[in-house]
Structure 1
Amino acid sequence: MKCYRCCIIAFFSFLTVAAPKAQADVIAVNDKVSVQPLHIPRVHAGTSPFYNYVVELLQMTMDVTSDQYGKAVLVANAEPTVQERQLRNLQDKYLDVTWSVTSFERERYSQAVYVPIAAGLFGKRLAIIRKNDLRFNSPLPLNKLQKLIAVQEESWPDTTILRSSGFNVIGAPYLPAFKMLKKKFVDYYPRGVLEIGYELENPLHTALTLEPHLVIVYPSAMFFFVSKNNILLAERLEKGLNLLIENGKLQHLLHSQEFYQHAQEQLKSRVQYIIPNPLLSDAAQQAYQHYIPLISKQNYLKREPINDDLQEAPALVGKQ
């Protein structure tokens, strides 16, 4: 069976091309003003809405700190890359910053900025299934759901999280996983509630639909990541994000996104299967507990000041 699955995954896999290294440290604007280029990943096919949100948030973060740190412009690398390659590219200086759901392993090799940017919603997983799959007509008990075959990107923390709670998960690249589902090699594809709306709008996925009853829930935080050697950028990002939370602009940007509003609707009246996340560091757990209520609440303009001790303690230590 393992050999069979390996063949399936190999059949659907694709090659990822690394982006070229940046050649310039400063970009001239009108021969008078210079700005620092900040190299970021290029959008991956099918993920544009969330990518656009993160890019806008990142630019806002740089703008709100420009008086202290200088102006910056975002420069997307030439080719899209998978998450693990993006994190390696930080060390190789192909990227200055990327973003990812966090884990012990990712924090070990890259510097996380411990301010969640997606309200923890990547830890709320809905299932994409094939249309007319009658097994999902009513809510499946947890033990039956665990026996079905789910697919996730092998390198995603979510894969390990689900497996640690008894789910039957095989790994495959992001886009080929949809093909595997259509061709009945797997039974369902757990996706973050923020992503699932625009993914199902893709005309390539007309044979797929959303399972209507269930949501798998676990604590999960998406952070910006920089190189361990780029402490100044980590400090800048943390400071900028906290300023945007305090003035409500981060919440306003996130809550105004169509994918966020769609996610809130989709979470209503679902049976929740709550499982633990064994991959959260102490710093990530602390950030999750502190920031998620601030980012998620609707009356975000009636905020309380950020706790300075919480904001500073985890940010640059990389505590595991």
Structure 2
Amino acid sequence: MFLPAFSSLAEPVLRVRYIDASDMKHNPNNDYFGQLLKLALDKTAADYGPYELSPLDIDISQRRHFLEIGKGRVDVFWTMTTDAREQQARPVRVPLMKGVYGLRLLALNRADAGLLESVKGDEDLRGIRFIQGRDWPDTQVLRLNRLRVETDIAEDDLYGFLARHRGLAFPRAITEIFAETDSRAAGVVADEHVLLRYPAAMYFFVAKDNEVLATRLEAGLRRAMGDGSFDALFYQFPAHRDAISRANLGARILIELDNPLLPASVDKAEIRRQQDQILGHQYP
């Protein structure tokens, strides 16, 4: 007996749910991760079958992401890796951002635009109060480098707090800061003088038991790296292109920091090589 084409033997569709809060956070960067997710899944469709991406337009904390992954309500998210985070969820150990999240510019109160003009090294940053989210990995990175960090501020009010108070600095990745400060032009500005650098790897994370999705994403990302489509997406993504062009990285004081939280599995030399690539990149 022949079965019709629409029978249950058709390949199941993999549904992949992830948080996309680009509009809510006034930041288009999440769209890059959605496109990269799609690229990795496209590269493996012949091996693993069809898929459906389901972005969820809500804004939740990084800690909440891990809880939602564990409960099975979200399938994948992206964040900086640490040993602690790799115990909570399964990392896909392919860096997504070429170490950019360890290349930080500083958002300031607009009245403090010249605050960092005389900074020459990390010692000159000791008197600055940095503000960060309580559960962000870079909060501990800054503290472990003997910088003063305040976290008693709601994450959705960090820029508002910065606009209301002077003498503060809010470190943001070079691909984040301009989109964020531009959308809040009334009270904040991106510093033009300093660049913080430390090794950092941004990974996709999935549930601990989701080996199929983890394996598929790693295979897809590595194929994209091998055929050049990863770099094409990264450098031509409009927000990246605009941010790297505007950052004027070669003219800044580069301050090197350590990242003791980086897992031993991360190749620090490779992250540094990728960061050097960013620092030396020239758009036509």
Same-fold call, TM cutoff 0.5: yes
Match 2:203 to one of 213, 223, 226: 223
Match 2:231 to one of 225, 237, 251: 251
Match 2:63 to one of 84, 92, 98: 84
TM-score (norm: length of structure 2): 0.86
Aligned counterpart, 2:149: 169
Change (3 A) 1:263 1:288: farther
Change (3 A) 1:261 1:294: same
Match 1:292 to one of 239, 255, 274: 274
Aligned pairs, number: 269
Contact 1:180–1:186 (Cα < 8 Å) also in 2? no
Amino acid at match of 2:168: D
Aligned counterpart, 2:165: 184
Superposed, 1:31-110 pairs within 5 Å as 34-44=12-22, 45-77=24-56, 79-110=58-89
Residues 75-134 of structure 1: CA distance to partner in whole angstroms, max 9, x if unpaired?
123632111111221111011110001111111111111111111111011111112326
- State whether structure 2 residue 197 is matched by structure 1 residue 197: no
TM-score (norm: length of structure 1): 0.77
Contact 1:148–1:187 (Cα < 8 Å) also in 2? yes
Residues 238-279 of structure 1: CA distance to partner in whole angstroms, max 9, x if unpaired?
000000000110100110023222333312210011011011
- State whether structure 2 residue 215 is matched by structure 1 residue 235: yes
Aligned counterpart, 1:22: none
Contact 2:129–2:148 (Cα < 8 Å) also in 1? yes
Change (3 A) 1:264 1:77: closer
Q: CA deviation at 1:41?
A: 1.0
Q: Which has the higher contact order (CA 8 A, sep 6+)?
A: 2
Q: CA deviation at 1:235?
A: 0.7
**Unmatched segments (≥5 aa) in structure 1:** 1-27, 300-320
Distance of 2:276 and 2:60 partners within structure 1? 32
Contact 2:109–2:164 (Cα < 8 Å) also in 1? no
Instruction: Report SS of the residue matched to 1:276.
Output: coil
Equivalent pairs: percent with the same residue? 25
Distance of 2:258 and 2:243 partners within structure 1? 21
Contact 2:198–2:259 (Cα < 8 Å) also in 1? yes
Distance of 1:287 and 1:111 partners within structure 2? 23
Q: CA deviation at 1:173?
A: 3.5
Distance of 1:67 and 1:198 partners within structure 2? 36
Aligned counterpart, 2:254: 272
Distance of 1:132 and 1:291 partners within structure 2? 36
Contact 1:127–1:188 (Cα < 8 Å) also in 2? yes
Residues 16-56 of structure 1: CA distance to partner in whole angstroms, max 9, x if unpaired?
xxxxxxxxxxxx9xxx7752211111315225421111101
Contact 1:112–1:225 (Cα < 8 Å) also in 2? yes
Distance of 1:73 and 1:291 partners within structure 2? 34
Distance of 1:294 and 1:244 partners within structure 2? 21
Q: CA deviation at 1:283?
A: 1.2
Q: CA RMSD in A?
A: 2.6
Residues 121-162 of structure 1: CA distance to partner in whole angstroms, max 9, x if unpaired?
110111111123265262324323222111011111000000
Distance of 1:75 and 1:179 partners within structure 2? 31
Amino acid at match of 1:196: I
